[in-house]
């Protein structure tokens, strides 16, 4: 069984860009609900089909398979709900961990989220200065939900966490 343990943070500032390398990503969802999602992703010249289970804290089951690029393009055009997720995914190593930072484009332009995958839910992480509020438990930041309700449609309160409390990153460290 494959498992993903992931925490998400809003990104503050651009200091992370100095050590990061990026890759364009497009992805769509064949289906998505609270219990599971089926995603089609194109990253560079590679394509993947990913099945994710329901979240349990910061963990969930994840199964990913490489598929032909032409199949992924056809699936996105004929089977995925719009808008597609468009982003540049940057990777960098900070504090001994690999971080990915997604800078969204298109309907979700303006949103910048950092993710870190862990081996255990209780694993200690020294957060970099650019890791802002933790949003791991906020469903609106799931990519599948950004298709249904893109960032450009969020209210100012939703963008700043004013509609409900978002804990500061240090509250989860």
Annotated active-site residue 151? The verdict is: no
Catalytic residue among 29, 90, 141, 151: 29
Beta strands in the chain (DSSP E): 3-11, 21-32, 36-43, 46-53, 59-67, 81-94, 97-104, 112-117, 131-134
Using an 8 Å Cβ cutoff, are 162 and 156 in contact? yes
| Phi, psi torsion values for 146, nearest 5 degrees | -70, -20
How many other C-beta atoms are found inside a 10 Å radius of the C-beta of residue 11? 21
Radius of gyration (Cα) for the chain, nearest Å?
16
Both structure tokens of 36: 């599971």
Rounded Cα gap, residues 173 and 26, in angstroms: 31
Beta bridge partners of 132: none
Farthest CA pair distance, the chain: 44
* Catalytic annotation, residues: 29
């Amino acid at each position: 069984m494959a498992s993903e343990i992931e925490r998400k943070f809003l990104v503050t500032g651009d200091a992370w860009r100095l050590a990061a390398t990026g890759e364009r990503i497009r992805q769509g969802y064949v289906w998505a609900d609270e219990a599971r999602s089926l995603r089609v992703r194109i990253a560079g010249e590679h394509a993947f089909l990913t099945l994710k289970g329901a979240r349990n804290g910061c963990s969930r089951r994840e199964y990913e398979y490489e598929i032909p690029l032409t199949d992924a393009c056809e699936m996105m055009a004929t089977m995925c709900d719009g808008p597609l997720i468009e982003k540049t995914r940057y990777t960098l190593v900070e504090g001994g961990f690999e971080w990915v930072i997604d800078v969204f484009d298109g309907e979700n332009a303006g949103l910048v989220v950092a993710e870190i995958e862990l081996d255990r839910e209780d694993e200690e992480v020294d957060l970099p200065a650019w890791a802002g509020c933790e949003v791991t438990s906020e469903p609106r930041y799931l990519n599948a939900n950004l298709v249904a309700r893109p960032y450009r449609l969020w209210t100012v309160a939703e963008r700043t966490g004013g509609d409900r409390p978002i804990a500061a990153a240090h509250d989860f460290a």
